[in-house]
């Protein structure tokens, strides 16, 4: 058994240690694409956690993602 903590990729973004940092460039880019397809606007100052939640919502709306 490993001493490494297991990371759960489905961890709630609200629980992320860096969730309150500004969204990343890749998040902004992907979110812009999804939002354009959904006819929505992306707020400028989203955090990483907020961006992740918006990506999840727009993926579900558009049928993208897994």
Report the candidate in 33, 41, 39, 43 with the shortest Cα–Cα distance to residue 65: 33
pLDDT score recorded for residue 47:
95
Output the 3-class SS for 33-49.
HHHHHHCCCCCCCCEHH
pLDDT score recorded for residue 63:
81
Q: Which residues pair with 22 in a beta bridge?
A: 47
pLDDT score recorded for residue 7:
47
Per-residue pLDDT reduced to its tens digit, 6-50: 445 567 776 777 778 999 999 999 999 999 999 999 999 999 999
Task: Decide if 47 contacts 21 (C-beta within 8 A).
Answer: yes
Query: How much is the pTM?
Result: 0.72
pLDDT score recorded for residue 2:
47
């Amino acid at each position: 058994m490993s001493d490494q903590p297991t990371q759960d990729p489905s961890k709630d973004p609200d629980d992320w240690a860096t969730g309150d940092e500004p969204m990343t460039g890749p998040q902004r880019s992907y979110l812009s694409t999804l939002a354009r397809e959904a006819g929505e606007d992306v707020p400028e100052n989203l955090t990483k956690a907020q961006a992740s939640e918006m990506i999840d919502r727009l993926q579900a709306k558009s049928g993208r993602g897994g």
